[in-house]
A and B are shown apart, each in its own frame.
Chain A
Amino acid sequence: MTHYGMAIDLKRCIACHGCTLACKSANNLPDGVRYNNVLTDGGQYMDTARGTYPNDLYRKYYPVSCQHCENPACVKVCPVGATYKDPETGVVRQDSDKCIGCRMCMSACPYTGVRTFNWEEPKYSLDFPVGDYDAPEHVKHTVEKCRFCYQRLAKGETPACMEVCGAFARHWGDLDDPDSEISQLIATREWEQLLPEMGTKPSVYYLI
């Protein structure tokens, strides 16, 4: 069995937002929609720190997209199975043709902001679709989120945000394969996960 996961090295991530843009581009994301966000744990605004200059300063970056939880809160609550876990890959998928737009999943997912609703007819700054030719459709009044670039996985390709991180901070692979790079990293590095107390068992590891 395959269980795709990712490991993001917070010691390396410099918040270049390359992953966010790779995702926007590959998935033809509508304006204002982002599956991945690079969050600043620091001050009030992106890239700011908290503390006092110069000896007590703190700033850290967390790139956050759907955690592809092993025990996904979103999947449990979806009344029609429009969001569901792919048993073969562990990917938590999203079916835009099925979603009734009840937004149950949005309030169930503990990871603030990884799910996004198309609050209106998706808008694009260009008048033709960009990105992968088989990028997911974006349907008004349905919920979306990172699908782990399923269209790419299906072809044996790498998720867009995983292709090249300028800091080489992103790792992706099969968590079930103990020899995979990602499994090795998790076995040998210190890591943390987001909100483990929620019991969702995320498939995203943050190497610290």
Chain B
Amino acid sequence: MQVGPTGPLVFACCKRSERGGTMQEEKLQKSSAVLKDAPRRGLTRRSFLKATAATAGAAAVAGVALDTLPAAAEGQKPQEEVYQGICRGNCGGGCRIAVTVREGKVVKTGPILNEDPMENLICARGYTHTQRIYAPERIQYPARRVEGTPRGGGEWERLSWDDAIKYICDHWKEYQKEFGDSSIAYSYGAGTYAQNYYVYMRLFNSLGATKIAQENDMTMLNYSWKMLGMSLYMVGNSRKDQVNAHTTFIWGCNASIGTFNRWKYLMASRDNGGKLVVIDPTYTVAAQKADFWAPIKPGTDAALAMAMIRYWHENGKDDKQYLATMTVAPFLVRQDTGKFLRSDEAGIAAEREAGVATGGGFGLGMDQGEGKFPLVAVDEQGNPGLLKEIAAPAIEGEFVINGIPVKTAYTMLLDRCDEWTLPAASAKCELSEDVITQLAEMYLDGPTMLHTGFGIDHRGNGDGASHALCTLPLVSGQIGKKGAGVSGNLAGATTGFAGDNWMTVVTSKMKPGATTNMTYIPQIVEEQQWCGQPMHLKSIFFYCGNPLGSYSGTTALRKAFESIDLLVTADTVWSDTAKYSDVVLPVPHWFEYETYRTCPNDYLDFNDAAIEPQFESKPDCDIIRLLGLGMDLGPEFDYDNAGFHAMFLDSDVARDQYGVTWVTLKQQKHIKMAPDEFIYGNQFIPFATETGRAEFYFENPVPEFDKSRQLDQELYALPFQSDPLETYDTNPLLEKYPINLMTHRDKFKVHTAFAKCPWLLEIQPEPTVELNPIDAEKYGIAENDYVRCYNDRGFCVFKAHLDPSLRPGTAWTEHTWLDDQYKAGHYADLTSLACTHFFPTNTPFDTLVAIEKYELEA
């Protein structure tokens, strides 16, 4: 290979489009002279931007996405309209897409270039919407499973919308009468970022229905929210701040895919001299690009993080100042109860205050009651006093105050970490002591960003590890300043609250309903109760999610669904869940109706209707209307799609602060809502927790859903390393099922969405499993063999590829294909519903299987 001149690594990504711009201008000038024989059939495209011509957003479309060319040969170019669509699967992109329509058909989807070129984004999938819009797997009309045929049998009877709605409502009313409001449940996944997703709340809140909450990633997300508070960019700075990071720890994140939309920022920080460190058992693409890769043993992240904390403290490298001022480090923990010491207990006179509780659930619900007595701390001389009155509280130490033995929360943390000496952590994580020391040192070479994903969360011991990870920035002080903090999947995306009128989900008929998550459905069905209240689930309404394809434990779920009479799915395509339902309702593709989204970007973006809803599909809002009226919920539901959206945007904040209404948004299309400069976790923007401090000590850990369960309060107060639920070394099951099967985000899908796109299938035609050659040899598997993975829960057939990137003993497959795309079985059937209960989530990585060669029947 030929090698060119060596030079400094310059990269001008920020200037990219400015340069592109000048080049284009130049070309424009040249084009008439230079490209004489070019098929110049074009003309100025401004003229056919008819749908969007008047608006600023369209100007952006016209000015950037669509170039102008010398007006020539007018007439040959067919009429084209370009609309702004928002691609809004749950990939974290939320890209603005130029949707080109010719002769009433969407013929092209491409990027809309932004004012800030770093925000330009589209991926392979974004180019394939034409194929998604006109996909044969679209649900075309409301349908009901033919009576007497089994669920998933594929026999459908076409219904009119009226009949379908009547059928659902008649049954719901019956169930309500006989089994109570909680017998109707609703479940939603990660289908869309747009507002049509939230509008369902209005309906189900008014019905007092049981909420089956989003359960994915929720261990780690909840931990981060509870510890750091949910703010504008979740628990972090603006994602643009990544460029200022000197060190980035990509931890448990398949960053080039899972956080594809941030990759260019990661690269930009590298261009600025920053370092990338990857902690992942798998040699991911991020690991390939990183400066340092620590191939950690799966399920041992807590030990590593705690060893780092211990190392910092031992070497005097912890950020005592930050701990003292911004975290609960100086809080005194009663050794008898595990609770924070308060003034009344310490014998210090003070008034009660509201909003100083920490405890169950995450911190949005402030203590609204009579309030609590203020917290007590100890000053440098060891004298107790009110925390707010002590300038420099002690963060370490053991004291007896008013006869009560206490330790600072930080000392409690250090005690907890004490077990994880370098040798202990090295043995646990299978990383050398030297590597652990290097990691600890690199983390301090800040500003440091903790770019986390859900590799940790998706294993059953993600709780203690999430806790440990979120503690790292606090002890190191690598947060609250430029280029430092938490990023990746936990932060950097806007929370999307800005300006929305959340009262919209409330009506005069509002009834409180129970909340659970999918993990508990089999238990509820079996016990016919939930948290001590009778619960007879009779119907589940699914929207924006495909639990039977994407979630864990589908074998158990399907079994539980057997005793639920009416499963309804509103979806665009025949997802696994739609196929298994009793009634399906067709929803349009994203670009077929108007809506908007406020997250994950810092813009409020309008989604045009590029074409009319196809077939008989109806936007979710229209479905809400029909169901609301069908359930006799009255005029509060008699709104069309635009009506619901206008209501959602009708808030003081939106109007007064941003000048935004549904009407202005439709005109402007693209409105900046969140600032670029946003540094979270300092005295200027304190943590949005109850205490305003980062809370690494939980005084009252209560299970999020199953309140009837007793948690080990002491254990859950602080980070801990425990075994995963299934994939631990001493599990006797390993003898039968020796391989840990994980998934990875698939660049050709967003969960199950895009799974059937023909263009993408060309590149990746079928489900694969990658495993280390050592394991392959052990189980007699060769490259390209079909293999059957199985365990007690189910089985699945994949094509096998040998990949030494996988740690021996682990294998991975794409998350996730639809059931008829597997040669046999379904991947999700292999996974379990097992979870821990503080903040339960699905734990698909915590799965053991056996792998054997499989002969395909001809």
Contacts and interface: CB of A to CB of B under 8 A. Distances in A.
A86 B38 CA distance: 10
A155 B23 contact: no
Interface stretch (B256-264, B319-327, B469-477, B544-552): B256-264
Contacts of A196: 1-2
A49 B27 contact: no
A50 B103 CA distance: 49
The size class of the interface chain A forms with chain B is 35 or more
B107 A168 contact: no
Interface of A is mostly: loop
A188 B271 CA distance: 14
A32 B762 contact: yes
Contact of A53 (B3, B78, B103, B804): B804
A173 B21 CA distance: 11
Interface stretch (A20-28, A69-77, A109-117): A20-28
Contacts of A188: 5, 7-8, 10
B16 to A, nearest CB: 6
Interface in A25-60: 25-26, 31-32, 34, 43-54, 57, 59-60
A154 B67 CA distance: 12
Contact of B134 (A88, A126, A168): A126
B40 A155 contact: yes
A49 B804 contact: yes
A173 B27 CA distance: 10
A91 to B, nearest CB: 10
Interface stretch (B28-36, B224-232, B786-794): B28-36
B275 interface: no
B80 interface: yes
B3 A52 contact: no
A86 B764 CA distance: 35
Interface in B215-252: none
A96 interface: no
A71 B80 CA distance: 39
A14 B763 CA distance: 15
A2 B267 contact: no
A129 to B, nearest CB: 7
Contacts of A53: 283, 295, 772, 774, 804-808
Interface string B286-319: 0011000101000000000000000000000000
Contacts of B28: 156
Interface residues of B, number: 93
Contacts of B24: 156-158
Contacts of B807: 53-54
Interface in B773-816: 774, 783-784, 801-808
A45 to B, nearest CB: 4
B267 A31 contact: no
A156 B69 contact: yes
Interface string A65-95: 0000000000000000000001011000000
A158 B805 contact: no
Contact of B40 (A57, A131, A154, A184): A154
A141 interface: no
B403 interface: no
Nearest to B255: A14
A186 B35 contact: no
B9 interface: yes
A133 B805 CA distance: 43
B19 interface: yes
Nearest to A197: B2
Nearest to B772: A53
A44 to B, nearest CB: 5
Interface of A: 2, 9, 11-12, 14-18, 20-22, 24-26, 31-32, 34, 43-54, 57, 59-60, 86, 88-89, 125-126, 128-134, 150-151, 153-158, 160, 163-164, 166-168, 173-174, 180-181, 184-194, 196, 205, 208
Interface stretch (B120-128, B589-597, B625-633, B674-682): B120-128
Contacts of A17: 124, 747-748, 763
B20 interface: yes
A129 B105 CA distance: 10
A46 B764 contact: yes
Contacts of A189: 4, 7, 9-10
A18 B20 contact: no
Nearest to A7: B4
A61 to B, nearest CB: 8
Contacts of B11: 9, 168
B423 interface: no
Interface in B30-52: 30-31, 34-42
B27 A164 contact: no
A43 B802 CA distance: 8
Interface string B102-138: 1101011111010000001111111110110010000
A190 B256 contact: no
Which 9 A-B pairs have CB atoms at the shortest separation, nearest pair first? A154-B38, A188-B7, A14-B256, A48-B803, A196-B2, A54-B295, A191-B4, A45-B801, A21-B127
Given A48-B770, A59-B805, A155-B40, A14 B122 contact: no
Contact of B4 (A34, A128, A180, A192): A192
